[in-house]
Amino acid sequence: MSAESLSFIIFLPAVVAFGLMITSSNVESVRNIAFLTTTVILALVLKIYINFEPSSGMQFFTNVPWIETYGINYYIGVDGFSLTILMLIAILIPTSYLLLWEGRTKGYWINMLLVQTGVTGALLSLDVILFYFFWEVMLLPVFLMIGINGFGDKVFTTIKVTIYTMAGSLLMFLGILYLGVTFFNEFGFWSFQYTDFTKITTLSYNEQVYLFLSFVIAFGIKIPIFPLHTWIMDTYKNAPTGAVFLLSSIMAKLGVYAIVRFMIPIFPEIYIEYSTWFVFIGLFGLIYFGIAALMQDDIKRMFAYSSASHLSFIAAGIFSLNSYGINGALYLIIAHAIATGALFLLVGVLHDESKFKTISDLGGIAKVAPVFTFIFAIMLFANVGLPGTNGFVSELLIIFGIYQFNHTLGYISALTVIIGASYMLWMFQRAILQDRQGEQRTMRHLKIKEIIGLTPWVILVFLMGIYPEPLIDKFEPTVTHFLNDILKIGAMK
């Protein structure tokens, strides 16, 4: 497997997208070519996954000058952590196409391809300027999807999410430039490789804190964590299904990824010092968003709060300073992406068919669409952490990790899982199982291609829940390296 394969995986969707812009006006042709492109990428990523040797180091990397005067390189590579998310993206995107197959526009499919280039490029970038470039690339297509294909007050929603994300990105960019100048002043040459930033010794304590916060705000908006979450509710409500899927299942996970990839090695002391605060913020967000979800009647807003609640739990695990919590958080990234992504896509199917407004408008779905109900139930139970599903393994690891970090916070994290089960089961009973007296609910059966698209997701829910070792073995060496060699606190606190 050559290192150039990673570049091919990054840029193929963008090349195809730009080609489709100028060569084809037929929506079906654009969709089919886009789907074929994503399946080719899946095959390549699967080959990389098979050939990858579990270790703490980077593999298949490419490092060539880009803007040589300022030490900015096209530097990409993959380790066990980024490989796991890369595999997730490669599986979820083409299979999601099968649930978005009809009723979309040419621009919709082109934007889906451009987002894939952005998220993959950001995931594999080891030069921080290159990472920032792809971080911005993945945002624009989503803005266009919301503004053009969204619902309700989509213009205001687009402006709101743009202001939030651009403000965070600007803070991160200023932090990157400050680190670059500091490195130049200390070493006499320019570099923006994140591994070189770890060598800086001249930053004062206050400078490190401010820089740390500039990054954590940018990544926290993307996740989102409390109190940087207010953009998410209207966005998930008014955005088209594909954009919601991309935001919740893939782009939010890059915020967590970036914290681990950049903030731990660049600011290890600040990361350790402020870990208690962020574990507390994560658990507070878990409770706050969970209670807010219980109060929602709009199903999309409920799922928005649900997603924020789970992502807050992931953030708490990331800052728990031990292998249980961090491994669990990384595992929950995958588990949450599968379960929540499938639920958002299924809600999209439900919305397209019934044009519902609220949970109280629904009911009676189980009788007329049993296969839909069955798959919906599997993803819902994975979301609440039912034993035997991937959600159970990841949540259990995080609870162990937080308990090891702080016993009191560990007890709180264990009890708060009940909140998630409460609002999800309450929604399921009212929206899917409950009969509507005197009224027959119209809901079509899932199509064969939709069932085919969801089948790998269902398999992963149970495979990861019953046999987690193969996946954990890929990224655990990276976690151990961060704990032992960077944070210097050992795999167990």
Which pLDDT band, with edges at 50, 70 and 90, does 493 fall under?
Answer: very low
Which residue is it, tokens 């990841």? 394
Calculate mean pLDDT across residues 344-373. Answer: 79
Q: What is the pLDDT of residue 2?
A: 60
Q: What is the pLDDT of residue 222?
A: 82
The DSSP annotation for 394-446 comes to: HHHHHHHHHHHH-HHHHHHHHHHHHHHHHHHHHHHIIIIIS--TT-PPP-PPP
Calculate mean pLDDT across residues 266-279. Answer: 89
What pLDDT digit, counting tens, does each position of 289-316 carry? 888 888 888 888 888 888 888 888 888 8
Structure-model confidence comparison of residues 170 and 366, the more confident one: 170
What pLDDT digit, counting tens, does each position of 199-228 carry? 888 889 999 999 999 998 988 888 888 887
Which residue is it, tokens 């939709």? 450
What pLDDT digit, counting tens, does each position of 309-348 carry? 888 888 888 988 888 888 888 898 888 889 888 888 888 8
Give the mean pLDDT of the chain. Answer: 85
Q: Is the pLDDT of residue 427 over 80?
A: yes
What pLDDT digit, counting tens, does each position of 17-36 carry? 999 888 877 888 888 999 99
Q: Is the pLDDT of residue 171 over 50?
A: yes
What pLDDT digit, counting tens, does each position of 86-140 carry? 998 999 999 989 888 887 888 889 999 999 999 999 999 999 999 999 998 888 8
Q: Please tell me what DSSP assigns to residue 127.
A: B
Q: What is the pLDDT of residue 94?
A: 92
| CA–CA separation, 286 and 416 (whole Å) | 7
The DSSP annotation for 217-262 comes to: HHHHHHTT-TTS-TTHHHHHHHS-HHHHHIIIIIIHHHHHHHIIII
Summarize the chain as % helix, strand, coil (round to 5).
75, 5, 20
CB count in 10 Å sphere of residue 371: 12
**Residue 266 contacts residue 296 (beta carbons within 8 Å):** no
Of 157-171, 184-198, 351-365, 373-387, the one with minimum mean pLDDT is 351-365
Q: What is the pLDDT of residue 183?
A: 92
pLDDT above 70 covers a percentage of the chain that reads 96
Written as six digits, the tokens of 323 are 């292998």
Written as six digits, the tokens of 187 are 């070493």
What pLDDT digit, counting tens, does each position of 433-470 carry? 877 665 556 677 788 888 898 899 999 999 998 988 88
Q: Is the pLDDT of residue 179 over 90?
A: yes
Q: What is the pLDDT of residue 492?
A: 46
Q: Specify the pTM.
A: 0.89
pLDDT above 90 covers a percentage of the chain that reads 20
| CA–CA separation, 478 and 300 (whole Å) | 36
